[in-house]
Structure 1
Amino acid sequence: MDIVDSQVHLGPGGAAEMVAALDALGIAAALIDEYWLGTPGEPYYRLANGGTRTTSPTAELAAWTYPGRFSYLVRLDPRDPELRAVIRLARDAAHVRALRVSPGMTRGEIADFAAGVYDEIFALACENGLPVFVQLAGQTQLLERVVRAYPDSRIVICHCGMPPGARLWPIVAQMEGLPDSETYWRAAAAEPHDRAFARVLQAAEWPQVALKWAHAPVSFDAAGYPNLAARPYLRAAVDAFGADRVMWASDISVNQTGESWAELLFAIADNPELSAAERSCVLGGTARRWLDWPA
């Protein structure tokens, strides 16, 4: 099976250890979101207006050093006054496959998303033929306005589309840093899974939207291999979106529930509730098609 992990973090440093792990697990390729853990947001340049412009030195080196094993995405800040140039550079870069925005980490950014502050990114992504990964932390209904305004867009919902789970919300609250952040995000995490996931499934109505199946163990209180409590939600996602619009990601670098990379992989590869064809799509085929990434 051609397996693609559609989100890992890498950097700073080289990729030799990750290549060895990919080889051991039988994973053909991985999409890097370069994000240096412990130094949120880095590597980036601070812009004069307070915005940021990310860079991906480790990911680019890995992609050139290990042909075919790595591609990467480019994170965007809607405050960047040179978005058009940044996205054109991403389009022309040999190993960039997608863009990413993460407005779901603070309520202010979510409000900005709802108000259209991120719209230029989607317009330029359409113009340049790049998909956009979007982390909305349980607010996937906000995509409706975007997909109607930009029908040629290709959007991938990050992290199962769910609010931060019980082990993740304290991190989000700390990042937001407001007096009521703990109260708000604790309540968001306590929303019943069925109700929160129903909003995600509604996004299946839009054919230009796919779902990244990542952080399912923490999102659905399904910690521990083989993450049995997450299986009904994956089955519902495949039924609603189709297996050709669901892609797996380990996000192993920040897995809050402690499963190994192998356990996260084989929780899907050995899932008897999925057909062989569905597993092939979820574990690699969908990512290849949506990211225009030849095997």
Structure 2
Amino acid sequence: MDIVDSQVHLGPGGAAEMVAALDALGIASAVIDEWWMGTPGLPYYGVGDGKNAQRTTSPTAELASWTYPGRFSYLVRVDPRDPELAAVIRLARDADHIRALRVSPGMTRQEMAEFSNGLYDDVFRLAAENGLPVFTQVAGHADLLERMVTRYPDVRMIICHCGMPPGGNLWPIIAQMEGQLDSEDFWRALSETPHDEAFDKVLSMSRHPQIALKWAHAPVMFDAAGYPNLAARPFLRKAIDAFGAERVMWASDISANQTGESWAELIFAIADNPDLSVEERKWVLGRTARTWLDWPAGQQEPA
């Protein structure tokens, strides 16, 4: 089976070790979201007035993609406040190994409000114009995407992390990042939304064919910790029934996994799931990512 992990973090360094792990696990390729597991967004530098916009860099991901052709590609996190946003996205389009953009408007209430008020419009407009899909972290607010679908029907969006509110291990981190007096109360309450109610918001977006779902962090999002993550299975079934397997892609996000499963266990929770057909498993574990990210199996990058 052609397995693609549609989100791993890497850097600084570590590509050789990750290739060894991919080989051992039977993973053909991985999409790097370069983050050094410290300050959110690193590595980046400040741009614009007051240096208040973050422009990320991907030195590890770029080197890994050139060094191991076909094994790695990567996405680029973009900031809508970047004064050279159009150029950044054009460069991403023309780069040999970049497959997508990523934004995370769902991490603070201020950012969600600005998303609703148009701050991110240029990101999605430019993504559509340049043919790049946008991974979007909305953290329980999938309905925010309705506006973008209406305004930019040609843009392809991939909802990150099952589209769910932050799970029990995650909401304190987000509350601390937001840093408002009522942040703990807000994010705790959101995390306690019944799973069916929260996931219905995500499933409702399946009516838009330009939206796909990244199946990542399901164990923490659905209180399904421990292989084989049985409590998450009904929700994956619902996702596939709503979106179709061709719009659901698996990701381990292994370095940020909150529930302790090994990388292999996260794979086999899907590969050995009796609720899925063999064809559905092939789509979720690799073919969907290949299709949506325009990354054919066995593709070798130009020398």
Map residues 1-295 of structure 1 onto 2, 5 A cutoff. Answer: 1-49=1-49, 50-295=52-297
**CA displacement at 1:14 relative to structure 2:** 3.2
Residue 149 of structure 2 aligns to a residue in which SS? helix
Structure 2 gap segments, 5+ residues each: 298-303
Count of matched residue pairs: 295
- Cα distance in 2, alignment partners of residues 119 and 25 from structure 1: 39
Structure 1 residue ranges (4+ consecutive) displaced by more than 2 angstroms after TM superposition: none
- Measured in 2, the distance between the counterparts of 1:129 and 1:166 equals 36
Q: RMSD of the TM alignment (CA)?
A: 0.6
Alpha-carbon distance in 2 for matches of 1:48, 1:121: 16
Q: Return the alpha-carbon distance in structure 1 between the equivalents of residues 40 and 292 of structure 2.
A: 28
How big is the shift at 1:57?
0.3
Deviations 1:155-204 (A, max 9, x none): 00000000000111011111111111111100010000000000000000
Instruction: For residue 48 of structure 1, report the CA deviation from its aligned partner.
Output: 3.3
CA distance in 1, matches of 2:24, 2:294: 25
* Structure 1 residue 278 displacement after superposition: 0.2
Q: Supply the distance in 2 between the matched residues of 1:212 and 1:238 (Cα, whole angstroms).
A: 11
**Counterpart Cα distance in 1 of 2:24 and 2:106:** 34
Identity %: 76
For normalisation by structure 2, the TM-score amounts to 0.97
TM superposition score normalised by structure 1: 0.99
Q: Residues 57-101 of structure 1: CA distance to partner in whole angstroms, max 9, x if unpaired?
A: 000000001000000000011100101000000000000000000
**Cα separation, 2, equivalents of 1:283 and 1:257:** 20
- How far apart in 1 are the matches of 2:132 and 2:38? 29
Using the alignment, how far apart are the partners of 2:22 and 2:159 within structure 1?
Answer: 24
Give CA deviations for 1:259-291 in whole Å, capped at 9, x if unaligned: 110010100000000000000000000000000
Letter in structure 1 aligned against 2:293? L
The residue type equivalent to 2:36 in the other structure is W
